Chains A and B, each alone.
Chain A
């Protein structure tokens, strides 16, 4: 699966849950939303090798 977050891109071959993915890239689930193939998903969702994952940061400045 290909994962994009801010200006970074990762590729993972194994199956992971959203929680496992976020731990792997050291991102707190409270600071992001995860979109799999265009759909918002929760932390328990299983991600597959062909998935396109976009992680959206939600903590803004100001």
Chain B
């Protein structure tokens, strides 16, 4: 296969776009696609400061890199969850994020160490407060709280995550399977800061396949952690991704159509007859973040039980 632009040997063939590109022309293509998504969904402007949630994986480090190349005011934040998994998962992923920061003067990495800050690792908290073996729900709760806190405390108006099209399509698939209408109403490239105490959350890679962000990382020499979180094995989200990837193999573009047509249908009124009566929010007595609870938010209740 040859690059459609210059005829050089292609390094990636994107069947869903009927497009092959070479090592020289592929990275600029991905950067342009990201810029288009930021503009199309009105994610943020050049005047706003953006905080990228960085895990040390390909998507978040690639997002950080692309936003820097697009000239945005962007910093990274890493949450050290204290997960070892037999191979130092958190230590390795943090090292990747730190190495990226060191190689890119002018941007900085904010680090939250959960154990040092709150006295327990995510796994310890999960073992204490829940019976399930998998700590993912607690981990997600902690990450969402800390990402929002760091964005607000640092004066960032926008929190960007590396969620890609595969993530979004898998999430949509799960929400449809269980008809989670509330989640379907909120799922999208932008989650507005519609209440005081919330940062706006955006997903600039929502229209890029996971394979495309990985190719960019490899071509641009971004050193990311290949290993998965040890608790991701067997996760429902991965099962949904595998199912959708099989469909994509048979019919290129399936994931893109599934997600983009959902966004369009919702924009045109799908779900418009679903009542949207958001619960009243108060400020958590301890951390001040919005909560539907009377006194403490779910995050603070985790530690209050200690």
Question: Does chain A bind chain B?
Answer: yes
Which residues of A are interface residues toward B (Cβ below 8 A)? 28-33, 35, 39-44, 56-62
A contact face: mostly helix, strand, loop, or mixed? mixed
Which residues of B are interface residues toward A (Cβ below 8 A)? 1, 9-13, 20, 23, 55, 57-59, 166-167, 210-211, 214-215, 218-219, 226, 228-229, 232-233, 235, 237-238, 241-242, 245-246, 248-249
Q: A30-B249, A31-B245 are in contact. Are A42 and B218 (CB under 8 A)?
A: no
Q: A56-B218, A62-B167, A62-B237 are in contact. Are A30 and B211 (CB under 8 A)?
A: yes
- Give the residues in chain A near B246, CB-CB below 8 Å: 28
B214–A61 CB distance below 8 A: no
Q: A31-B245, A59-B210, A60-B232 are in contact. Are A40 and B1 (CB under 8 A)?
A: no
B232–A61 CB distance below 8 A: yes
The 8 A-B residue pairs whose C-beta atoms are closest, nearest first, are A61-B232, A40-B11, A58-B214, A42-B1, A42-B13, A58-B211, A61-B235, A61-B238
B248–A30 CB distance below 8 A: yes
User: In the bound complex, what is the Cα–Cα distance between A44 and B13 (angstroms)?
Assistant: 10
- Give the residues in chain A near B9, CB-CB below 8 Å: 42
- Give the residues in chain A near B232, CB-CB below 8 Å: 60-62
- Give the residues in chain B near A30, CB-CB below 8 Å: 211, 245, 248-249
- In the complex, what's the smallest C-beta–C-beta distance from B175 to chain A, in angstroms? 16
- Give the residues in chain A near B228, CB-CB below 8 Å: 60-61
B211–A61 CB distance below 8 A: no
- Give the residues in chain B near A58, CB-CB below 8 Å: 58, 210-211, 214
User: In the bound complex, what is the Cα–Cα distance between A55 and B245 (angstroms)?
Assistant: 17
A35–B218 CB distance below 8 A: yes
User: In the bound complex, what is the Cα–Cα distance between A25 and B219 (angstroms)?
Assistant: 25
- Give the residues in chain A near B219, CB-CB below 8 Å: 40
Return 5 A-B CB contacts under 8 Å, by A number: A40-B215, A40-B219, A42-B12, A59-B242, A62-B167
B23–A33 CB distance below 8 A: no
- In the complex, what's the smallest C-beta–C-beta distance from B80 to chain A, in angstroms? 16
A29–B249 CB distance below 8 A: yes
